[in-house]
Amino acid sequence: MKKFLSLFLAIALIACLCACGAQPAQTQPSEQQPAQQPAQNEPAAPAEETTGETIHLKVWGSQPDQELLKELCEAFAAEHPENTWEFEYGVVGEADAQARYLEDPAAAADVFSFPDDQIITLVQADALYEVTRNHDEIVAANAAGTINAASYNGVLYGYPMTADNGYYLYYDKSVLTEDDVKTLDGILAAANAAGKQVHMDVSNGWYLASFFLGNGCQLTLDADGNQICDFNNANGLAAAEAIRAFCNDPAFITGDDSVLQGGIGDNICAGVSGPWTSASIKEKLGDNFGAAKLPTFTCNGQQVQMGSFLGCKVLGVNTQTKHPVEAMMLAEYLTSEQAQLRRFEVLGYGPSNINAAASPAVAADPALTALAEQSQFAISQHVLGQYWTPAEAFGAELEAHSEGDLQQMLDQLVEQATAK
């Protein structure tokens, strides 16, 4: 009996040892590596078990974008049936995106569009996820300038959506010739002769800067993110004198885009705006629709080419989203080649995607051709918020035919624009 029991225990022990040996080798605690954590603003890879979830994403876009935004989101959902998708749409234009986000980041959209000049403030507010999914493919697909515009300190924080956040000249071919529109003097002379007006929103710092930038002034940021503005130097004073002369011309008219859109083809023969007004101006002018780069203007007795800003609209992913990977997937889809071509077809927006921009339809668009020509004289829009109000005040004074001392007015503008 004792021998039998000993034999039984030996067999049981061998079986136990064999069973233990069949298990995967376990790393000893001293050999274990710490669990890899996602980098800051980098979502973890989606787990397999997330498929089949109901994914709710809030998406912001401007009012003109709403119908197309819904179309594209529904197409995205159809291409990704592994989840159930619910989209909530908000009407928030690009210009208002930063302010609306900062009001309540947790209530902001998961995916939202903004102009590239807002990226510094948004990154500093920890509002944007770094683009980590398909990073290299996105960089290769878009124009280098738009990738730079969607980056901060060399890190990509957004998905370029357009490359048309700039401006140029629209004109009525029944009043102005291609030679007329080469110079501001030529435009004004022809307009006065025809009893027409020339539109520019000089009290908007975006357009006002054209004269200063064209005459060699700077409006940018230093390495520490401080505003550089030297509009009060000798070149700036000469540019300001040219602006005053323009505003004092009988043909000059100011106002927002609605003034230009309503008057072009009637009392207005030319005006400065961007692609967002192209469709309505084409409708008004028909065969007389013309577009060109900004003209030269007389400065210190010489012809100087107007400068401008050129930026892009960007899609960003909110760091507070509950679905960062899915939000990145949607943002990439909404800025893909196909989506950008569709956006051009419906809204006339200029693509940042290289292939989309090279398509025959985009290349044949006269407004986007004018924008491309003007882009040779444009700079990226690196402007802090404190520039806009004093620039508006300065422009408004000249529109009102102020006879104030230009140097003093410029000194005040620069002091306020560069305040820390």
Integer CA distances (angstroms), 111 to 80, 118, 403, in order: 17, 15, 48
pLDDT profile of the chain (420 residues), mean per 10: 38 39 32 35 45 92 94 98 97 94 97 92 95 97 89 94 93 98 98 98 97 96 89 98 98 97 98 91 97 97 95 95 97 98 92 93 91 88 89 98 96 96
Q: What is the pTM of this model?
A: 0.71
Q: Report d(CA 143, CA 351) in Å as an integer.
A: 9
Task: List, in sequence order, the alpha helices (H) in 323-405.
Answer: 324-334, 337-347, 354-357, 360-363, 366-374, 388-399
Task: List, in sequence order, the alpha helices (H) in 35-112.
Answer: 66-79, 94-103
Please tell me the predicted confidence (pLDDT) of residue 73: 98
- Which DSSP letter does residue 336 get? S
Please tell me the predicted confidence (pLDDT) of residue 417: 97
Provide Rg for the chain, Cα atoms: 29
Q: Report d(CA 267, CA 399) in Å as an integer.
A: 18
CB atoms within 10 A of CB 219: 23
Pairing between β-strand 54-61 and β-strand 84-91 as defined by DSSP bridges? parallel
Please tell me the predicted confidence (pLDDT) of residue 5: 36
Please tell me the predicted confidence (pLDDT) of residue 89: 98
Distance, CA of 199 to chain centre:
25
Integer CA distances (angstroms), 193 to 151, 187, 262, 269, 360, in order: 48, 10, 21, 11, 38
Is 57-164+311-365's fold the same as 168-309+384-417's?
yes
- Which DSSP letter does residue 20 get? H
Integer CA distances (angstroms), 413 to 12, 226, 392, 416, in order: 91, 16, 9, 5
Q: Report d(CA 273, CA 170) in Å as an integer.
A: 7
Phi/psi class of residue 141: alpha, beta or left (left: φ > 0; alpha: ψ in -120 to 50)?
Answer: alpha
Please tell me the predicted confidence (pLDDT) of residue 51: 65
* Ranges of each domain in the chain: 57-164+311-365, 168-309+384-417
Strands (E), 216-265: 219-221, 227-229, 252-253
Enter the tokens of residue 206. 């975006």
Q: Report d(CA 237, CA 242) in Å as an integer.
A: 9
Domain 168-309+384-417 CATH (choose: 3.40.50.620, 3.40.50.300, 3.40.190.10, 2.40.40.20): 3.40.190.10
- CATH class of the domain whose range is 57-164+311-365: alpha beta
